[in-house]
């Protein structure tokens, strides 16, 4: 049995205790796989990163933004800010002026709307579509029968590396990732040099809400729980 972290299987969530500010969290009853207990060295090492002034300030503003997404009412917490607005507020808090928008051609209309919203809030927006360059898909070894419009049609490849390099060259303050495919987003994140956030992830079936299939995994998407690879 190894002690690899398994927070997703934690029965207690002792790292998020409901205690007074002057009390100390205790992990005495934490499960064997609890990283709060077994990874003390890495916790200390990672916390030293917050000693860097820029990182500390970025982290502080992110948590202030998180706080502002709720309102305290006599009935308890209520949420009040959608992610689009959260992104705008966070960008303003950080003093970002020029935003990069990396989007999938499948959400080009949404990219246009988002650009209008951001420009209306005073930002300069530099946007790059995943197809920029119009390089043929065959370039990376895709066979004609693997092209979405069919073997006899030209299909531009998605090039998240190109998207990242263009946005890097434009020296944007903050990048917003929108609707890239699984794997394409991985490459974008790997090559993008500046700070970035994800506004939306692509889900062709659920209107870009991948958790919908998770919520339905005990009914309409029960196949997700079947022991197969697909």
Return residues touching ligand SF4 (CB under 6 A).
7, 10, 12-15, 30-31, 34-36
Question: Least distance in Å: CB of 34 to ligand SF4?
Answer: 3
Question: Least distance in Å: CB of 129 to ligand SF4?
Answer: 39
Question: Least distance in Å: CB of 17 to ligand SF4?
Answer: 9
Choose between 11 and 82: whose C-beta lies nearer to ligand SF4. Answer: 11
Tally of CB atoms within 10 A around 47? 9
Question: Least distance in Å: CB of 3 to ligand SF4?
Answer: 10
Question: Least distance in Å: CB of 217 to ligand SF4?
Answer: 21
Choose between 36 and 217: whose C-beta lies nearer to ligand SF4. Answer: 36
* Token pair 């209107």 in the structure block, residue: 207
Question: Least distance in Å: CB of 43 to ligand SF4?
Answer: 10
Give the Cα separation of 115 and 124 in Å (integer): 9
Buried b / exposed e over 149-178, threshold 16 CB at 10 Å, is eeeeeebbbbbbebbbbbbeeeebbbbbbb
Phi and psi at residue 100, to the nearest 5°: -100, 135
- Asked if 193 contacts 83 with a C-beta cutoff of 8 angstroms, the reply is no
Choose between 3 and 63: whose C-beta lies nearer to ligand SF4. Answer: 3
SS3 196: strand
Choose between 37 and 98: whose C-beta lies nearer to ligand SF4. Answer: 37
Phi and psi at residue 91, to the nearest 5°: -65, -40
SS3 167: helix
For residue 129, what are the contacts with CB-CB under 8 A and spacing of at least 6?
103, 104, 105, 108, 111, 163
Choose between 31 and 133: whose C-beta lies nearer to ligand SF4. Answer: 31
Choose between 15 and 201: whose C-beta lies nearer to ligand SF4. Answer: 15
Question: Least distance in Å: CB of 31 to ligand SF4?
Answer: 6
- Which residues face 98 on adjacent strands? 124
Choose between 43 and 134: whose C-beta lies nearer to ligand SF4. Answer: 43
Give the Cα separation of 135 and 126 in Å (integer): 21
């Amino acid at each position: 049995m190894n002690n690899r972290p398994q927070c997703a299987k934690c029965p207690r969530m002792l790292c998020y205790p409901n205690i007074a500010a002057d009390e100390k969290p205790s992990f005495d009853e934490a499960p064997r796989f609890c990283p709060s207990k077994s990874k003390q060295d890495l916790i200390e090492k990672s916390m030293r990163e917050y000693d860097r002034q820029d990182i500390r300030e970025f982290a502080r503003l992110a948590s202030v933004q998180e706080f502002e997404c709720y309102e305290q009412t006599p009935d308890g917490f209520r949420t009040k800010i959608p992610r689009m607005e959260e992104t705008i507020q966070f960008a303003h808090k950080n003093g970002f002026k020029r935003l990069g928008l990396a989007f999938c051609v499948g959400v080009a209309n949404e990219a246009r709307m988002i650009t209008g919203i951001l420009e209306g809030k005073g930002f300069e927006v530099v946007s790059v579509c995943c197809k920029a360059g119009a390089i043929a898909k065959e370039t990376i070894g895709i066979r004609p029968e693997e092209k979405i419009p069919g073997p006899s049609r030209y299909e531009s490849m998605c090039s998240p590396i190109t998207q990242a390099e263009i946005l890097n060259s434009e020296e944007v303050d903050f990048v917003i990732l929108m609707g890239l495919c699984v794997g394409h987003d991985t490459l974008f994140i790997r090559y993008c040099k500046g700070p970035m956030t994800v506004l939306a992830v692509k889900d062709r079936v659920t209107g870009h809400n991948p958790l919908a299939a998770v919520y339905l995994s005990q009914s309409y998407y029960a196949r997700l729980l079947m022991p197969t690879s697909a």
